[in-house]
Amino acid sequence: MGTSSSVWKGSRVPEIDQIEVEVLRNHLVSIVYEMGAVLRRTAYSPNIREREDCSCVLADTSGQIIAQAEHIPGHLGILTVGIPYLLEHFPPTVWEEGDVLMFNTPEGGSHLPDIRIVVPIFHRGELVALSANLAHHADVGGMVPGSMPSTSTEVWQEGLILPPLKLYSKGELNTAVMDILMRNVRTPDERAGDLNAQIASAQLGCRRVLEVIDKIGINHWTTYKDEILNYSERLMRAKIEEVLPDGEYYSELFIDDDGLVEGRIKIAVTLTVKGDSVKIDYTGTDPQRPSGVNCILANCISAAYFVIKCVSDPTIPVNAGCYRPIEVFCPEGTIISPDPTAAIGAGNETWQRIAETVIAAVLQADPSIAKAHSHGCMNNTVFGGTDPRNGRRYTYYETIGGGDGGRSMADGMDGVQVLGTNTMNTPVEVVEMYYPLTVEEYSLRPDSGGVGKYRGGLGIKRKFRVEDHRSVLTANSDWIKQKPGGVEGGGTGAKTRLVINEGTDKEETPQFCKVMRVLDHGETFTVYSGGGNGYGPPQERAREHIRRDVLDEKVSDHDPAQDG
């Protein structure tokens, strides 16, 4: 660590050496990445193993995140709320070595499929840190496979709710809790395997942190851990002051519908920048809905943190310190801070809209530091039923990427996950091996990116066919009816399209962007994800970029006005 162990282990707290702080910070980040690798490689479900729908952190005993990997932005912001919530119910005085804490309550930061595992780290009998992760389980019970119904009217319809509890107490499994969980899910073997992977990951983090403390000493751990947070805060404040101009900026964007009735739903944001701090106020957002489109408070906080961090400086070390300059206010009873009993099954799509609305406010402050709007969706797609090949229940969960927005210096990326999600896709071979589904087509959508000096990224077409059984489909998307325009003269990317039984006499376009259906053998469901918006006047697009797009078949033809 840059000095001898005899110096590190002294009882006297030394003066802070910023080089040693940086070495420790990177060491902790490497631990979190290793935790993620263990979680993914030992998980049972393709959703975690292939799509990497999980995130890992280390936190201090007050719940402040001190290290996190670049996993999923939505998860990581949620854990900044979730771990302090857990500590309110289980203060440090009741933790013991060998404990494993588990919860999935909405008040703790997310929807029900996101189960959080937290393991205490004790050094010579003293609680010194926490090792934690969050993983999206493909099913936790409820009214439909996948536990993300769009038409639920209360949270109890969406699956088993786990308040903060000890799954293991002093190393002993609470078999009653595990039995209750396994009896309330459709795929118990997969759930048990994923939970064990989460526990192994968190316990690895515990061992690695103890190795660090044994090397540097507990006094250095306490002092340097705090300095990691303070350093990030200083960098964040300096970047906010440098990049974001003082002022008040208002924006509003809309969700297409709530899955039950027609009518747009407004997300409103007022961004106030003053010196080295930012306030994000969601006053003006529409009231909560009697459907799963509601999104919990932690997601509002997470989306605000994510956007401000990205536009300030993506290279600033990510931990609780860099969020200190950001204040978030969200009125209770709104669609993004509903009552605790509200349905939230389709709230992931609302998270995306929150982030896009904050981006819209930043674009008013300075268009050069933010990108144009992306396709703006997660396109949550779930199939569930009984596999005719083996008689076992299955749940397949996927989010489908699309086009990212163009930027002031580059085109938007094609076919990627954006904003709150950072998952991989499930390879076609894995889908067809594990589930009674066929992927008939998986391709980019030509001409779906918004035109501009810098083109928006292309959307994706992914078409599924049900094989030899009946499958329950749940699909939560958005921006299939309306979408905001590009930036600085750029064009609007293609909207999302959902099609059932495409190309047959039973072809149907769903009325709402939130869909729940039963599909029979041979029936299909196709997602055309949207494209990103363009940035800058299309007439200024470089000729070589136009030629490249035509040769790559990303555009079928082009507007002569783009030739300049």
The half-sphere exposure of 345 on its side-chain side, counting CA atoms within 13 A, is 37
Domain ranges of the chain: 5-232, 371-564
Please name every residue paired with 476 in a beta bridge, in sequence order, or none if there are none.
380, 514
Neighbours of 43 (CB within 10 A): 26
The per-residue pLDDT for 562 is 45
Q: What is the DSSP string of 403-467?
A: PPPP-SSSPPPSSB--TT----PPPHHHHHHHSSEEEEEEEE-TT-SPPSSBPPPP-EEEEEEE-
Here the tokens at position 350 are 């609302």
Question: The tokens 């507990």 sit on which residue?
Answer: 218
Q: Is 300 helix (H, G, I), strand (E, B) or coil?
A: helix
Distances in Å between the alpha carbon of 282 and those of 185, 226, 322, 344, 363? 36, 31, 21, 18, 17
Q: What is the DSSP string of 84-133?
A: HHHHHHS-GGG--TT-EEEE--GGGTS-TTEEEEEEEEEETTEEEEEEEE
The number of angstroms, rounded, from the C-alpha of 327 to the middle of its chain's C-alpha atoms is 20
Instruction: Give the Cα separation of 434 and 525 in Å (integer).
Output: 18
Distances in Å between the alpha carbon of 561 and those of 52, 146, 538? 43, 47, 7
Instruction: Give the Cα separation of 357 and 430 in Å (integer).
Output: 35
Enclosing H/E stretch for 357: helix 347-365
| C-alpha distance across the termini of the chain, in Å | 57
Identity of the amino acid at 561: A
Task: pLDDT tens for the chain, 564 residues: list them.
Answer: 333 333 333 334 457 889 999 999 999 999 999 999 999 999 999 999 999 999 999 999 999 999 998 777 777 677 888 999 999 999 999 999 999 999 999 988 789 999 999 999 999 999 999 999 999 999 999 999 999 998 899 999 999 999 999 999 999 999 999 999 999 999 999 999 999 999 999 999 999 999 999 999 999 999 999 999 999 999 999 999 999 999 999 999 999 999 999 999 999 999 999 999 999 999 999 999 999 999 988 888 999 999 999 999 988 988 999 999 999 999 999 999 999 999 999 998 999 999 999 999 999 999 999 999 999 999 999 999 999 999 999 999 999 999 999 999 999 999 999 987 888 899 999 999 999 999 999 999 999 999 999 999 999 999 999 999 999 999 999 999 999 999 999 999 999 999 999 999 999 999 999 999 999 999 999 999 999 999 999 999 999 999 999 999 999 865 544 443
The per-residue pLDDT for 76 is 66
Here the tokens at position 385 are 């039923």
Instruction: Give the Cα separation of 154 and 540 in Å (integer).
Output: 51
Instruction: Give the Cα separation of 8 and 216 in Å (integer).
Output: 5
The half-sphere exposure of 492 on its side-chain side, counting CA atoms within 13 A, is 11
Q: What is the DSSP string of 541-555?
A: S-HHHHHHHHHTTS-
The per-residue pLDDT for 2 is 36
**R_g of the chain, CA atoms, integer Å:** 24
Here the tokens at position 304 are 């605000």
